[in-house]
Structure 1
Amino acid sequence: MTREMLINAAQDEECRIAVVEDSQLEELYIERASVISHVGNIYKGKVTNVEPSIQACFVDFGVGQNGFLHISDLQSIHFQATKGAKERVGRKHPRRTRPPIQDCLKRGQELIVQVIKDGIGTKGPTLTTYLSIPGRFLVLMPGMNRMGVSRKIADEKARAHVRDLMKQLDPPKNLGFIIRTAGEDRTKGELRRDLNYLLRLWKTIEKRMRKEGSPLELYRESDLVTRTIRDVFNTNVNRIICDSDLTVKKVRDFLRIALPRTRSRVSLHEGPTPLFERYNLEKEIKKIHSRSVPLKSGGSLIIEPTEAIVAIDVNSGKYRKHEDAETTAFKINMEAAPEIARQLRLRDLGGVIIIDFIDMLQDKHRRTVEKQLRQAIAADRARTKILRISQFGIVEMTRQRMRPSLNSSTYMDCPSCLGSGRIKSPESASIEIMRRILAVLDLEKAASVEIGVSPEVAHFLLNRKRTVLAQLEQTKGVTISIQAKDDLANDSLHLVIRDPRGSVISCDA
């Protein structure tokens, strides 16, 4: 298996990183210079409002839009009852045992918070007081006790081994640490270097916390290239190919400290063909924005993101290899499960996700498909929770949403349909326009009516409604003018009413 990381940073406006496995796009990360993300940043903020009705508060942390902090993201050191007692790593107090937020915080109180999700639309950023500062192999968690090991390190012997290494390093008792998946096979010396780096960083942050007032940025997360190398790159990645000299230097400098033996895997892409074109990724990226995803067997996925949920439908399409419907459904569902996991990663879809697999009668088939889906999603870095598949083939799951999806970051809503994908047919628009004409003709002073509509609607009115319009002109004694305007959609209307002297008495646009 060949696994490569391709970094396209030739354009200053946008940086793209693709992870390709055996020539198939598996992961895609995009960051634009014009879009500022605050996820991972740590701030000293001030409580502006405490809202008991939703058990949350709003915090001004200096970015122009107040952040949202729920009681479930408030560390126990802020609880009056526990008198500053710290929680253990991975053992947060359950929601039911937490005191009311109005007993913990008050307006004007200063807080150290971290952004865990960027604001989307009118919603402000989501905050937490459970700080986490990532290194290459460890995550520092101030205000927590003990050590934790990444859940993705499943082997118990490996978990015990890394715990033992950390105990030998004797980290400070007043700080919590999590050993990341990348730290599983690291030596004691490598873990020590990472630990010392995080401790120096936290000491710098603490110094600024004490000396400066709020709102204040205390820690800024690294750029996309550094984050991806830190969080995604491992020894399974055979090559890192960059199309910028500056990026090559940045990656090598990072690896020189974090993984010195892998520096030789970094290379510069040369030649007239752009890097992503060379690996046929531009076509793959275009497919990510498509509603339909074809499967190799002839089936397909239909992916429909909405405001409330993401709906994914599995269709059999042209797949007809088996005589019985049960085997056909099972084979297509088994193929669809890993592709669904891949599409969720590539599109960065989050929130509540409903997957409608093709109905299967046998319980063993449903459980096998469910297992296939869980295994495929296990590699996802975002937190996920999957419920069991129902007898109707429905799977409900949630996926951590940290920033707007790739689709919403790339496209803007159509000004004609406002993102619905539908506009009125010429006939429907014409019927509504005729109602408007009848209403305005009741105005006593109306002598002429000028109607600006799309060319399609104008054609319908002038052909299918010509007789009706002529009768209205004769009976009402007015002049009705239909004008085709290329810049108007079918359900748009520009209406001007004039009196006998030619003065405008009403205008709708």
Structure 2
Amino acid sequence: MDEERDTEEIEPELLEEIAREIEEIRSLEREVGFRGSAAAEARARRGDVPPETRETRGGRRVAVKPPIQDVFRRGDEVLVQVIKESIGTKGPTLSTYISIPGRYLVLMPGLNRVGVSRKIADEGQRRKLRQIMHELNPPKGLGFIVRTAGLDRSKRDLARDLAYLLRLWKVILKRIKKAKTPAPIYQESDMIIRTIRDIFNSEIDTIWIDEPSAFERAREFLNVVMPRFVDRLKLYEGKVPLFQKYGLEEEINKIQRRQVHLPEGGSIVIDQTEALVAIDVNSGNFRVEDDAERTAYEMNLRAAKEIARQLRLRDLGGVIVNDFIDMREEKHRRGVERALREAVKRDRARTKILRMSQFGLVEMTRQRIRPSLKRSVYHECEHCGGGGLVKTVESMAIDAMRLIAFALNKDGIRHIRVEVCEEVATFLNNRKRQELAALESNSSVTVHVCPSPGAVREHLVVQIVDAHGNEVPFLPAPNPPAGPPPRRRR
């Protein structure tokens, strides 16, 4: 009853606030000249753009959009949003379809309708949410999508989020009016605010933050969006670091390892390459009643849940190939597919999962928005070229012997100095001593192997000195660089 009275008191205030924000936004839009998306504005200013046409492809009518150079011309002012950060050599992806996420809603200027997230499948819930949004009467020209977090939220919660997004859009319009292009207009909240916005719910008892300024930002955000839960935000002032106290340091270390051990036995191994992510499922010592088929099925079910979790934690995207343990029964194969689809439902990134192949492979794609955790934390190894491998001591010793033999073909030389790492020097002076002595006696040239403290495994420098003590130029055919071969340009 108290909740109902609170709702009755607060909703009129929220609706009045929404009405005020709508009126101010309309006024600002008239000043800014904003008419839907930036692309629409560009077309409106110039009437010579070919319209979007439709043609038949594969028995279906599909939209054919005009070339980008016919939509925009040099000097056009365009409002764009970065929807994907630059990854490797690929630049950022831009869109004129602006979307600004709130706690329960997403604001989409120019959409001019309300919708519900596709992840909310129940038609009754979808109708209820649409009805609430229509009752809130959002302004024309602005679209709103109810996020999955908005499921089972009250009208008051949605109204508060709507008012917050309208205030934010009003600020953005003011910046558009004042900005001289090119100019940044709006940047999404920092990680702490995004985490509270996207993850926090009523089941979480406490939010701990150990940095005073971040604590204040979070409190301001909660006061605006979720004032009922402000008292759950706490400033941590303990002597033990926050991550150490709650065991987060070890969890962070785990998600940077290649192998992930599962609680009841078995593991998954994650390898990230340039083209795709490969995930291998290993049963290890996991067994179910000495039944190989049942063991494989139960292991794959557990692995499917952990794979979905690791994809979220590591922010892995693009093409992902999961190599499950082979199963003979079709119902088990379909069961693993269903388990994987169920496990990725809570993932905010879009995913698409194909059927399991006859080899036990499940191919899937996951939306890539930013570089993965591995790309963000590590850079390419300077010694192995990113391949993850360096030559063995014996291989480097053989390379050194070949260069010495090549250098002996020079005329008038008296001394060869070979500089290698300490491990390779030890190998040459012990295991290759007889071969070096044979080369020296057959050519009357002295060979001196010098260890270089701190040198990397593949360090190899050969110097040649003649009878007068002068260094002789020595340019052998270069060895191919370590690491994977360069990718072909597409």
- TM-score when scaled to structure 2? 0.81
Corresponding residue of 1:135: 102
In structure 1, the residue matched to 2:482 is none
Contact 2:82 2:93 in 1 (8 A): yes
What is the alpha-carbon distance in structure 2 between the residues aligned to residue 212 and residue 247 of structure 1? 28
Q: 1:405 to 1:445 in 2, by over 3 A?
A: farther
Query: How far off its partner does 1:189 sit?
Result: 4.0
- 2-structure distance, mates of 1:408, 1:118: 12
For 1:233 and 1:78, how far apart are their aligned partners in 2? 40
Cross-structure match for 1:261: 228
Q: Is the 8 A contact 1:360 1:391 kept in 2?
A: no
Aligned amino acid, residue 421 of structure 2? S
Preserved CA contact (<8 Å) 1:298 1:317: yes
Partner of 2:127: 160
User: Structure 2: how far apart are the matches of 1:343 and 1:393?
Assistant: 20
**Counterparts in 2 of 1:163-312, with a 5 A limit?**
163-312=130-279
Deviations 1:406-436 (A, max 9, x none): 1222223332222322111122112222222
Separation (CA, whole Å) in 1 of partners of 2:247 and 2:426: 44
Matched residue, 2:51: 82
Displacement of 1:240: 1.1
User: Which residue type is aligned with residue 70 of structure 2?
Assistant: D
Correspondence for 2:392? 425
**1:392 maps to which residue?**
359
Which letter maps to 2:136? L
Task: Report the CA distance shift for 1:497/1:96 in structure 2 as closer, same or farther (over 3 A).
Answer: farther
Aligned Cα RMSD in Å?
2.6
Q: What SS class does the counterpart of residue 115 from structure 1 fall into? A: strand
Write out the 4+ residue segments of structure 1 that deviate beyond 4 Å after TM superposition: 73-79, 93-96
Q: Which residue identity does 2:419 align to in structure 1?
A: G
Deviations 1:40-75, CA, capped at 9 Å, x for gaps = xxxxxxxxxxxxxxxxxxxxxxxxxxxxxxxxx996
**In 2: Cα distance, 1:310 partner to 1:429 partner:** 31
State the structure with bigger RCO (CA 8 A, min sep 6), 1 or 2. Answer: 1
Task: State the identity as a percent.
Answer: 52
Q: Residues 379-418 of structure 1: matches in 2 within 5 Å?
A: 379-418=346-385
Superposition pairs of residues 331-410 of structure 1, within 5 angstroms = 331-410=298-377
Give the helix-richer structure, 1 or 2. Answer: 2
Report the Cα offset of residue 96 of structure 1: 5.7
- Decide whether aligned partners of structure 1 residues 325 and 173 sit closer, same or farther in structure 2, where only a CA change above 3 A counts: same
Structure 2 distance, partners of 1:430, 1:110, is 62
Cα distance in 2 for partners of 1:330, 1:185 equals 35
Contact 1:453 1:494 in 2 (8 A): yes
1:120 corresponds to which of 84, 87, 96: 87
Q: Report deviation, 1:83.
A: 7.7
AA in 1 matched with 2:239: P
Amino acid at match of 2:176: M
Q: CA deviation at 1:267?
A: 2.1
What code does the residue aligned with 2:284 have?
Answer: G
1:307 to partner: Cα distance? 0.9
Structure 1 unmatched ranges of 5 or more: 1-72, 85-92
Any conservation in 2 of the 1:136–1:194 contact (CA below 8 Å)? yes
* Partner Cα distance (2:212, 2:116) in 1: 37
Deviation at 1:217?
0.3
Give ranges in structure 2 of 5+ residues lacking alignment: 1-36, 44-48, 54-59, 479-490
Letter in 1 for 2:388: G
Aligned to 1:465: 432
| Contact 2:407/2:474, CA 8 A, preserved across alignment | no
Output one character per residue of 1:16-47: Cα deviation in whole Å (capped at 9) or x when no partner.
xxxxxxxxxxxxxxxxxxxxxxxxxxxxxxxx
Q: How does 1:319-330 map to 2 (within 5 A)?
A: 319-330=286-297
Q: Which segment drifts farther, 449-458 or 244-253?
A: 244-253
What CA distance in whole angstroms lies between the structure 2 residues aligned with 1:74 and 1:362?
A: 54
SS of the residue corresponding to residue 144 of structure 1 reads: coil
